[in-house]
Amino acid sequence: MARHASPLQSLLVDDRLDADVYPNEPMARHTTLRIGGPARFYVRAGSISALSAVVALCTEESIPWTVVGRGSNLLVADEGFDGVVISLGRDFRCIQVNEDDYSIVAGGGALLSAVVQETFRRNWQGLEFAVGTPGTVGGALAMNAGTRDQGMGSAVRSVTVMDGRGRLEKLPGSSVQWGYRSSSISGVVVECELQAATCDPFYIRGKMEAALAKRQQTQPLGQMSCGSVFKNPSGASAAQMIEGCGLKGAARGDAQVSDKHANFIVNNGAATAADMAALMRDIQQKVREAYGIELAPEVRFLGF
């Protein structure tokens, strides 16, 4: 390493660091929208000690950092993110099922779909609302992902979080504030315990299959998107309002309001974050004029 390497560079090239490090990594590779400029460093941490070392050093050196899952709810600026993007690798992807008390311990980097599948196979209820939701367990807890009526928080027995100094804390699920597509969790979700319950196999199979079929009918699943772009205002549907403004099919560059679901914006191939942001502003303006309601983004922004 050059004599004038920064402490961060020195850490990231250290062979003992259990992490894969990608400098100037295009974030378009890590978002379901396939949009986003480069992160100064993209670091896939393989273990708690690697995660702790990176997070603590970034905090100490005042280097901006963030954690991402599958980028399924993320709009990254075309200019990218001048900091460290951390994703959770190997040790964070474990899923342990406890048949005795219908609980599951899952790492923050495990796929939510894999966890849901474990409950489905055993005819357990508690996570059926999450069927078909992409992303990781960590992202799902941070977002309190789910439906309008139910979110991940309802199934969380405990969550283990790493703070900006690299310290771990295990919180009871009941001590977290679970909001609509938000949670009071700050720091990195490294693990959680989820509580399910036994259930009639026909009931659970029926519920899951109906939820999947509804998704297939109503969402543009074959296209690049980040799911619902805006939160539903209380007592109203963002999709209905956007459709009511005649905005289905409206476009800015290659970013287009889906013909199938008006609260989805799809990337037709070469959309930029600027196209997405401009289309979101168009939608907000039209809905404000027509309904007097300010739509709040559900998608999270990085680098703006």
Helix axes 112-121, 201-218, angle to 10 degrees: 140
d(CA 6, CA 166): 20
DSSP-derived secondary structure for 64-114: -EEEESS-TTEEE-TT-EEEEEEEE-GGG--EEEETTTTEEEEETTSBHHH
Q: How far apart are CA 23 and CA 254, in angstroms?
A: 28
19 or 140: CB nearest ligand FAD: 140
Residue nearest to ligand FAD (CB): 69
Smallest separation, CB 65 to ligand FAD (Å):
10
Residue 46's SS3 state is coil
β-pairing, 300-302 vs 74-76, is parallel
> Token match 């004599």: residue?
3
Q: How far is the CB of 19 from ligand FAD (least distance, A)?
A: 15
289 is catalytic: no
Rounded Cα distance, 218 and 75, in Å: 22
Please, is 260 exposed, middle or buried when counting C-beta atoms within 10 Å of its C-beta (0-12, 13-18, 19+)? Answer: middle
Q: Which of 52, 158, 228, 258 is catalytic?
A: 228
Catalog residues that contact ligand FAD under the rule CB under 6 A. 32, 66-74, 88, 108, 133-136, 138-140, 142-143, 145-146, 181, 188-189, 219, 221, 225-227, 300
128 noted as active-site residue: no
Amino acid present at 286: K
Q: Of the two residues 59 and 66, which places its CB atom closer to ligand FAD in the complex?
A: 66
Cβ-based nearer residue to ligand FAD, 229 or 247: 229
Least CB distance to ligand FAD at residue 285 (A): 24
Shortest Cβ distance from residue 130 to ligand FAD (Å)? Answer: 7
Q: Looking at beta carbons only, is 72 or 232 nearer to ligand FAD?
A: 72
To the nearest whole angstrom, how small is the minimum distance from the Cβ of residue 27 to ligand FAD?
A: 10
Nearer to ligand FAD, 8 or 110 (CB): 110
Contacts of 231 (CB under 8 A, 6+ apart): 180, 181, 238, 295, 296, 297, 298
* Residue 205 designated active-site: no
Catalytic residues: 181, 228, 298
